[in-house]
Amino acid sequence: QKEVEQDPGPLSVPEGAIVSLNCTYSNSAFQYFMWYRQYSRKGPELLMYTYSSGNKEDGRFTAQVDKSSKYISLFIRDSQPSDSATYLCAMRPHTGGFKTIFGAGTRLFVKA
Amino acid sequence: DVKVTQSSRYLVKRTGEKVFLECVQDMDHENMFWYRQDPGLGLRLIYFSYDVKMKEKGDIPEGYSVSREKKERFSLILESASTNQTSMYLCASQTEPTDTQYFGPGTRLTVL
């Protein structure tokens, strides 16, 4: 079983829809949770970064962490065609060095 | 703005060739990483370096080596390229373990 599971999609939604992207994980030591966005033929760029449980909002994006269920989510409101990309979740324990574990990524298409 | 650059966007090599991939960051980051990204497998850590001349193996170091002679530069070496090393290679840098990683644009390597 992988440490981080993420549905690869693809997920196709109409413009303006609310998008929900999710990851589950098995290691209860994970404390730092990140979402990266990766456009085609580009490197990943950080979108959201949260520590421990709770919600974090940034514009149209909301990151949610539920440590009791070992489940993290990224919500995109009023989705735009420019949101079409692959979204990778990533996580890391509080201690134990440098290793970040990435999900495989979910490919999102937002249709105009 | 953090900038991580990689020497080539696309590279085609023959089986058995020695291949050098270079990564440069301009933010004086201590830590640098090399990943490969394959469909369905996400990002897998090959090697990382937490200081000049220091290196640690990641999850899939076989067939690769690295060099870090200067703080800003981290090189990945494929000693004898094989077809199963065809992949997207991503370099990242980071200030501290609690910080996020900043990625370069990637090098798409094809080994024929």
Q: Which of A14-23, A76-85, A91-100, B67-76 has the lowest mean pLDDT?
A: A91-100
Mean pLDDT, range A30-49, rounded to an integer: 92
pLDDT of residue A19: 97
Out of A88, A97, A102, closest to residue B97 by CB? A97
pLDDT of residue B42: 85
For the domain spanning A4-111, the CATH number is 2.60.40.10
pLDDT of A109 over the 80 cut: yes
Question: Which residues in B20-33 are b (16+ Cβ under 10 Å) and which e?
Answer: ebbbbbeeebbbbb
Number of structural domains (chain B) is 1
Provide the residue range defining the domain that includes B78: 4-111
A14 reaches B (C-beta below 8 A): no
CA torsion through residues B95, B96, B102, B107, sign = positive
Q: Which of residues 72-91 of B touch A (CB under 8 A)?
A: 90
* Cis, bond preceding A10 (omega within 30 deg of 0): yes
pLDDT of residue B97: 64
pLDDT of A36 over the 90 cut: yes
Does B42 sit within 8 Å of A6, measured CB to CB? yes
**Blockwise average pLDDT, block size 10, chain B, 112 residues:** 88 97 93 92 91 91 96 96 97 81 94 96
Task: Select the residue from A23, A48, A102 to test the B interface by mutation, using most B Cβ atoms within 10 A.
Answer: A102
Q: Given pLDDT bands bounded at 50, 70 and 90, which one contains residue A111?
A: very high
pLDDT of residue A54: 86
Q: Which of B25, B85, B29, B106 is nearest to A36 (CA)?
A: B106
- Residue B46's domain is classified under what CATH number? 2.60.40.10
Residue-range domain boundaries for chain A: 4-111
pLDDT of residue B53: 86
Q: What is the 3-state secondary structure (H, E, C) of B77-103?
A: EECCCCHHHCEEEEEEEECCCCCCCEE
